[in-house]
């Protein structure tokens, strides 16, 4: 059941944010939340290797301003909190390696919900430093509670909206929902209450932005960067007394109606958080931690390609042609038939499978313009073709299904179905050791092993550390 005119969700979100304490967060939600924080910090560090981060940091350094928070990747340079959040958010999404919200609802299209961690994490890192500059220490418990509040609010908003927001209007959900996660985290740390808190959320309805046309360019991570920045800005303006409607999410002219054409009313009735772990979005349906820095819709097929190559001992020279059969839920967003740049490759099945075929992996070293534009990579991409499969399409879009057909030069046809229980998803999660290995891959050449080890130790007890500002310092090269 759905309605274009939800009511009461702004007030409910504000009440949840205001009242939440670290003791209210169920143990399983805490466990997964720590993992999301570590993964989010890892992908922020990885972003330091991208021009996206460099250009955002250059612009921020020229802007200057209040010395609230460290400018990520620029030593001791400090900038206003909102600008610091912009750079952190852009770095965190620069590789498209950050986690993805999961939905078990067949009415949703898998992979087109929000990337939940980076906006509230960037906001919490920036605002905690601003508060420290004002003389107010932020404990790990306060930091983690703010992050979890932002994560939950962002995911619930994304899950409750009708899929119209993604399918027909082509908004980028991490931009248009992520801003609420950032605002919630910032508002919690700033101590906003009541009407001020509701107004901060309502301001986000006027600043939410993000369009899928820019996937495959620097402007995709810019949309997450601006979500983090604008969420912090909304909370800071509300603290100053800037006004907005008290119910910006609701009603005929509210966010849910304007952006998503309504909500699933049976979902909004569930509310935010709860005493049971299963009531928290971070636990159920859960979150995917990405093994590859590309669109989550591609990972199952990439793993399937790796399995096929290994099972049959296929070398690149043996491949005549590859045909990938999948649903439109995979192939419409993954829109570049042949990738010319590494940013396009994140949304190109040919580009991604070429990495697996030529390198047996797809990490930072493969996502470069030099590799993806090389004659070998361009030649292999030209052999890879995608097809919308009506039979796969008819099975639904709540999970990813794909079939790989590989023809060898000696005339063999090898058929392989990609695994549905993909690595990194709630049904096949990365282990804690895998997550530490991902940090090492993200931080290679950017943070030394000692700094990485200190970061892992801090995050594994994040809600118990005395001063949350140490997290921002640990990821600063």
What is the average pLDDT across 171-197?
Answer: 97
Q: Region of 431 please: left (phi>0), alpha (psi -120 to 50) or beta.
A: beta
Q: Quote the CA–CA distance of 207 and 227 in Å, as a whole number.
A: 8
Q: Could you give the C-alpha distances from 234 to 123, 197, 378, 409, 415, in angstroms and in order?
A: 11, 10, 45, 59, 52
Q: Quote the CA–CA distance of 141 and 163 in Å, as a whole number.
A: 35
Q: Quote the CA–CA distance of 302 and 311 in Å, as a whole number.
A: 14
Per DSSP, the residues of 388-430 read E-HHHHHT-SSS--EEEEEEETTS-EEEEEPPSS-TTSTTSPP
Q: Could you give the C-alpha distances from 304 to 299, 357, 391, 415, 471, in angstroms and in order?
A: 8, 11, 19, 10, 37
Q: Quote the CA–CA distance of 459 and 438 in Å, as a whole number.
A: 15
Mean pLDDT of the chain: 95
Q: Quote the CA–CA distance of 13 and 201 in Å, as a whole number.
A: 9
pLDDT at 333: 83
Cα Rg, the chain, nearest whole Å:
22
461 has pLDDT over 80: yes
Q: Is 368 exposed, middle or buried (0-12, 13-18, 19+ CB in 10 A)?
A: middle
Domains in the chain, start-ordered, CATH in brackets?
Answer: 2-291+429-474 (1.10.4100.10), 296-417 (3.30.1330.120)
pLDDT at 355: 98
What is the average pLDDT across 441-454?
Answer: 96
Could you tell me which of 362, 364, 334 has the C-alpha nearest to residue 349? 334
pLDDT at 330: 86
What is the average pLDDT across 435-451?
Answer: 97
Could you tell me which of 129, 20, 140, 230 has the C-alpha nearest to residue 476? 129
What is the average pLDDT across 328-337?
Answer: 88
What is the average pLDDT across 280-285?
Answer: 96
Using pLDDT thresholds of 50, 70 and 90, give the confidence band for residue 105.
confident
What is the average pLDDT across 186-213?
Answer: 97
pLDDT at 110: 66
1 has pLDDT over 70: no
Q: Using the structure block, give the residue that is written with the tokens 């999660």.
A: 429
**Structure tokens that stand for 260 in this block:** 């998503």
235 has pLDDT over 70: yes
pLDDT at 422: 82
Using pLDDT thresholds of 50, 70 and 90, give the confidence band for residue 398.
low
Lowest mean pLDDT, pick from 51-55, 265-269, 330-334: 330-334
pLDDT at 111: 62
pLDDT at 427: 87
If one compares 402 and 111, the residue with the highest pLDDT of the two is 402
109 has pLDDT over 80: no
What is the average pLDDT across 196-221?
Answer: 96
Could you tell me which of 253, 290, 233 has the C-alpha nearest to residue 89? 233
Q: What per-residue string of b and e applies to 306-326 under the rule 16 or more CB within 10 Å gives b?
A: bbbbeeeebeeeebeebbbbb
What are the two backbone dihedrals, phi and then psi, of residue 99, each rounded to the nearest 5 degrees?
-65, 165
What are the two backbone dihedrals, phi and then psi, of residue 367, each rounded to the nearest 5 degrees?
-85, 70
182 has pLDDT over 70: yes
The residue length of the chain stands at: 477
């Amino acid at each position: 059941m759905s309605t274009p005119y939800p009511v009461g969700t702004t007030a409910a979100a504000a009440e949840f944010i205001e009242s939440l304490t670290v003791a209210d967060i169920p143990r399983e939600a805490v466990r997964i939340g720590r993992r999301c924080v570590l993964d989010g910090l890892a992908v922020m560090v990885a972003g330091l290797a991208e021009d996206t981060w460099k250009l955002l940091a250059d612009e921020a350094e020229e802007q200057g301003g209040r010395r609230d928070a460290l400018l990520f990747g620029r030593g001791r340079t400090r900038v206003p909190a909102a600008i610091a959040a912009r750079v952190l958010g852009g770095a965190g999404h620069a590789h498209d390696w950050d986690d993805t919200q999961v939905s078990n609802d067949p009415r949703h299209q898998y992979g087109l919900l929000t990337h939940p961690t980076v906006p509230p994490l960037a906001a919490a890192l920036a605002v905690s430093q601003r508060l420290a500059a004002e003389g107010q220490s932020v404990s790990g418990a306060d930091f983690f509670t703010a992050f979890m509040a932002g994560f939950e609010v962002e995911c619930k908003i994304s899950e409750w909206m009708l899929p119209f927001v993604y399918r027909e209007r082509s908004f980028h959900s991490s931009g248009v929902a992520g801003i609420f996660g950032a605002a919630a985290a910032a508002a919690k740390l700033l101590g906003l209450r009541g009407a001020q808190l509701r107004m901060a959320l309502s301001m986000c309805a006027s600043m939410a932005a993000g369009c899928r046309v820019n996937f495959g360019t620097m402007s995709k991570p810019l949309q997450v960067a601006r979500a983090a920045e604008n969420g912090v800005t909304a909370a800071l303006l509300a603290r100053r007394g800037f006004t907005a409607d008290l119910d910006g999410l609701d009603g005929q002219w509210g966010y849910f109606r304007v952006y998503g054409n309504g909500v699933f009313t049976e979902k909004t009735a569930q509310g935010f958080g709860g005493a049971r772990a299963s009531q928290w979005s971070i636990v159920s349906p859960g979150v995917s931690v990405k093994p590859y820095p590309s669109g989550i819709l591609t990972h199952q097929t990439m793993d399937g390609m790796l399995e096929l190559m290994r099972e049959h001992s296929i070398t690149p020279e043996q491949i005549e042609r590859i045909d990938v059969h999948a649903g439109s839920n995979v192939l419409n967003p993954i829109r570049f038939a042949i990738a010319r740049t590494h940013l396009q490759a994140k949304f190109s099945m040919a580009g991604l499978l070429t990495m697996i075929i030529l390198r047996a992996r797809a990490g930072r070293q493969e996502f470069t313009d030099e590799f993806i534009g090389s004659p070998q990579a361009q030649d292999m991409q030209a052999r890879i073709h995608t097809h919308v499969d009506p039979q796969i399409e008819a099975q639904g879009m709540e999970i990813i299904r794909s079939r790989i057909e590989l023809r060898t030069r000696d005339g063999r046809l090898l058929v392989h179905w990609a695994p549905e229980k993909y690595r990194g998803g709630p049904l096949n999660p990365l282990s804690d050791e895998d997550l530490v290995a991902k940090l090492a891959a993200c931080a290679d050449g950017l943070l030394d092993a000692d700094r990485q080890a200190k970061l892992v130790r801090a995050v594994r007890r994040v809600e118990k550390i005395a001063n949350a500002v140490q997290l921002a310092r640990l990821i600063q090269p």
